[in-house]
């Protein structure tokens, strides 16, 4: 939301990224390194999406614990 603290924005982005990463588990890869294992990879979340969610979660946690906001 407009005017919200940056820490809240990161927390919201991290939550959305985790949900989106979990939702990739049902997708069947058509391109990339997972394509040859397409049927076996169904049920496993996309590693890139999972990594992004982890990074955003770490940043959100750091922002929340330091309590600092940019000037």
Question: Rounded CA gap, 53 and 44, in Å?
Answer: 15
Q: What is the mean pLDDT of the chain?
A: 85
pLDDT in tens, 19-40: 999 999 988 877 777 777 777 7
Q: What pTM value is reported for the model?
A: 0.76
Whether residue 71 is contained in a domain is answered as: no
Domain around 11: 6-66
Whether residue 12 is contained in a domain is answered as: yes
Whole-number pLDDT of residue 69: 59
Whether residue 58 is contained in a domain is answered as: yes
Whole-number pLDDT of residue 64: 87
Number of domains, the chain: 1
DSSP 3-state assignment of 7? Answer: helix
Q: Which residue has the higher pLDDT, 43 or 14?
A: 14
Task: State the DSSP H helix or E strand holding residue 59, giving kind and residue range, or none if neither.
Answer: helix 47-66
Could you count the other beta carbons within 10 Å of the beta carbon of residue 60? 21
């Amino acid at each position: 939301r407009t005017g919200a603290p940056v820490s809240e924005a990161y927390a919201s982005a991290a939550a959305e990224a985790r949900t989106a990463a979990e939702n990739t588990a049902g997708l069947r890869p058509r391109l990339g390194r997972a394509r040859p294992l397409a049927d076996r990879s169904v049920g496993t979340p996309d590693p890139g999406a999972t990594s992004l969610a982890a990074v955003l979660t770490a940043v959100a946690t750091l922002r929340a614990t330091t309590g600092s906001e940019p000037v």
